[in-house]
Amino acid sequence: MTGSQKLILDTPVDVVVMAAGKGTRMKSKLPKVLHRLAGRALLQHVVDTAATLKARQVTVITGHGATEVEAAVQGNSGATGQFYLNFVRQEPQLGTGHAVQQTVPVLRDDGIVVVLSGDVPLTQVDTLQQLIHVSGGDKLALLTIDFADPTGYGRIVRLGDVVQAIVEQKDATPAQRKITEVYSGIMAVPAKQLKAWLARLDNKNAQGEFYLTDIVKFAVADGVSVVAHKIQDAVQVAGVNSPVQLAELERAYQKRIAVALMEQGVRLADPARLDVRGQLNCEQDVSIDVNCVFEGEVNLGEGAQVGPNCYIKNASIAAWAVIHPFTHIEGGAPGSKNAVEVGAGALIGPFARLRPGAKLGAEVHIGNFVEVKNSTLAKGAKANHLAYLGDATVGERVNYGAGSITANYDGANKHRTVIEADVHVGSNCVLIAPITLGAGGTVGGGSTLNKDTPVQALTVARARQISIPNWKRPQKAK
Ligand code: UD1
Ligand code: MG
């Protein structure tokens, strides 16, 4: 990344995020900037981008649903976030210029201010670094783009090559409306000048609003250069105004992730049918079938295979493990004891469910309709059919029969089940915890156990089978 690091100036970067608007077209009670893209609030994407940009300070302008919006992003900054996050309120909302005016008391004069919108989630950090670079710390830099249909956007008006103004759609002359270069809503501007220009804004325009975009005229009048940094990628400046646009951007985001994974060597059965809502890390020769959803932090080891229709959250799957179709894995917080671990060469599913704290060793087999929670299974242990293991410690090579369950909950407390190495638990057993099954023992099918079992023994706890010879079934009365 040395190339992009060179673009960073010595001037501190302070980010301002406009997020006071209502978002009427979402037709939702949830404030627009809290709608989720790839599992994160739109505004969180923007704040995380600011974090990656190594902003000194991020100021979010809130209005509609302010309390909810502030609570949602507070203390939730990206992993790289080492900045000061603060909020200013804008009530009522009198336009983008009025919004940024609210930040004046908290903006320091020595910074360069990058203005972003809370509903434009997919701007890339290197684009913003380039924008900051072209601003040079003393110019007004506008991020622009050419749109075949520029309707609704502010137009970049130039004299020759030199930017003169941004004219909003509703204020534009027919000739100006033909301009296809539009303002993206993103700019980089020296704080000191910005403050002076904000003080000069008025609302004498078609919408009766204070337009942030009017500062371009003031810059020109003051002899400060205005530079346009034009990009090609519309996704980076696309805003979310409706559920349709949200879904479009979700797909655009997922495509980016899918392409990056494939470039790294991951085989995706269909890049259009993958959803990553967090961080998916893959070693060499991983393959992922269709319709898989990954959440939180998921690590897939070398050669790991994920079958179709799996949901995997906060889990580390070791090398050559196979996750068969329709498996549901839901680990707790990454790095915590509740994250799920699947050992090398393990076979999981189809239709398996691994819950928080499932720790499976190498070559463990978990079959269909088996649920594992807060349990450790050592190398080679198997639970192949219709079973529950909760709060259990399971030794190497244990075979846990179909339909068996750990009765781990007495209605008040959870208790532990210990199944030592090489135990065979028959089908349909109930192991009432706390209980320890001694190594090498066998438990007869259908047993309900509430006492520890000795090593190497056969333990059976069920009514003895009897047969009554020549039994006559009752006859129906005539
Ligand atoms: C704005 C630009 C326009 C640009 C377009 C790009 C102005 C005057 N115009 O237009 O040149 O092409 O973005 O999308 O800036 N907001 C507030 N408080 C307000 C008004 C808006 O916080 O009082 C927030 C909104 O929530 C939104 C952002 O500012 O996140 C942009 O506002 P919006 O109303 O979408 O501006 P546009 O009219 O689209
Ligand atoms: Mg808009």
Q: Quote the pLDDT of residue 83.
A: 76
CB 346 within 8 Å of CB 318: yes
Active-site hit among 229, 385, 415, 424: 385
Compute CA distances 380 → 273, 397, 403, 441, whole Å. Answer: 33, 5, 19, 16
> 80 forms bridges with which residues in the sheet?
none
Ligand 1 centroid to 235 CA: how many Å?
17
The bound ligand whose nearest atom lies closest to the alpha carbon of 144 is 1
Closest residue CA from atom 13 of ligand 1 = 185
Q: Quote the pLDDT of residue 444.
A: 98
Closest residue CA from atom 11 of ligand 1 = 154
**How far, in Å, CA of 220 to CA of 197, rounded?**
11
With b meaning 16 or more CB within 10 Å and e meaning fewer, what string describes 458-473? Answer: ebeeeeeeeeeeeeee
Compute CA distances 209 → 24, 50, 212, 260, 268, whole Å. Answer: 18, 27, 9, 42, 49
Contacts of 147 (CB under 8 A, 6+ apart): 153, 180, 182, 234
Whether omega for the bond prior to residue 325 falls within 30 degrees of 0, making it cis, is no
Which ranges of 118-173 does DSSP label H, i.e. alpha helix?
A: 125-135
Q: Quote the pLDDT of residue 292.
A: 98
One-character DSSP codes across 159-201: ETTEEEEEE-GGG--HHHHT--EEEEEEEEEEHHHHHHHHTT-
Q: The tokens of 435 are what?
A: 């209980």
One-character DSSP codes across 391-427: SEEE-TT-EE-TT-EEE-B-SS-B--EEE-TT-EE-T
Report whether residue 183 contacts ligand 1, using a CB cutoff of 6 Å: yes
With b meaning 16 or more CB within 10 Å and e meaning fewer, what string describes 88-104? Answer: bebeebbbbbbbbbbbe
Ligand 2 centroid to 29 CA: how many Å?
19
Ligand 1 centroid to 117 CA: how many Å?
8
Which residue is associated with the tokens 């994160």? 40
Contacts of 409 (CB under 8 A, 6+ apart): 390, 415
Ligand 2 centroid to 98 CA: how many Å?
15
Neighbours of 378 (CB within 10 A): 21
Neighbours of 114 (CB within 10 A): 27
The bound ligand whose nearest atom lies closest to the alpha carbon of 185 is 1
Domains, the chain, in order of start with CATH, read 3-237 (3.90.550.10), 243-459 (2.160.10.10)
User: Which atom of ligand 1 has the smallest separation from the CA of 119?
Assistant: 30
**How far, in Å, CA of 458 to CA of 390, rounded?**
23
Report whether residue 435 contacts ligand 1, using a CB cutoff of 6 Å: no
**How far, in Å, CA of 51 to CA of 72, rounded?**
16
Going by C-alpha positions, the residue among 465, 475, 448, 457 that lies closest to residue 420 is: 457
Q: pLDDT digits over 57-114, tens only?
A: 999 999 999 999 999 998 655 444 567 899 999 999 999 999 999 999 999 999 999 9
Contacts of 336 (CB under 8 A, 6+ apart): none
Report whether residue 61 contacts ligand 1, using a CB cutoff of 6 Å: yes
Going by C-alpha positions, the residue among 63, 72, 61, 69 that lies closest to residue 15 is: 61
Report whether residue 21 contacts ligand 1, using a CB cutoff of 6 Å: yes
Neighbours of 111 (CB within 10 A): 21
Q: Quote the pLDDT of residue 2.
A: 41
Strands 417-419 and 435-437: parallel
> 125 forms bridges with which residues in the sheet?
none
With b meaning 16 or more CB within 10 Å and e meaning fewer, what string describes 158-170? Answer: eeeeebebbbbbe
Based on C-alpha coordinates, what's the Rg of the chain?
A: 31
Q: The tokens of 465 are what?
A: 């089978």
Closest residue CA from atom 35 of ligand 1 = 21
Ligand 1 binding pocket mutation candidate from 59, 96, 119, 209 (most atoms within 8 A of CB): 96
Which stretches in the chain have pLDDT values below 50?
Answer: 1-6, 78-80
User: Which atom of ligand 1 has the smallest separation from the CA of 153?
Assistant: 12
One-character DSSP codes across 319-330: TT-EE-TT-EEE
Q: Quote the pLDDT of residue 342.
A: 99
Contacts of 200 (CB under 8 A, 6+ apart): 218
**How far, in Å, CA of 374 to CA of 339, rounded?**
10
End-to-end CA distance of the chain: 94
Q: The tokens of 20 are what?
A: 């006071």
Report whether residue 361 contacts ligand 1, using a CB cutoff of 6 Å: no
**How far, in Å, CA of 97 to CA of 166, rounded?**
13
CB 442 within 8 Å of CB 429: no
Q: Is 365 a catalytic residue?
A: no
Q: What are phi and psi of 222, to 5 degrees?
A: -85, 0
Type of residue at 124 = Q
CB 126 within 8 Å of CB 98: no
Ligand 1 centroid to 169 CA: how many Å?
12
Helix/strand/coil for 277: strand
> 277 forms bridges with which residues in the sheet?
295
Report whether residue 18 contacts ligand 1, using a CB cutoff of 6 Å: yes
CA 408 to chain CA mean position, Å: 33
**How far, in Å, CA of 422 to CA of 238, rounded?**
59
Ligand 2 centroid to 243 CA: how many Å?
15
Q: The tokens of 309 are what?
A: 């229709």
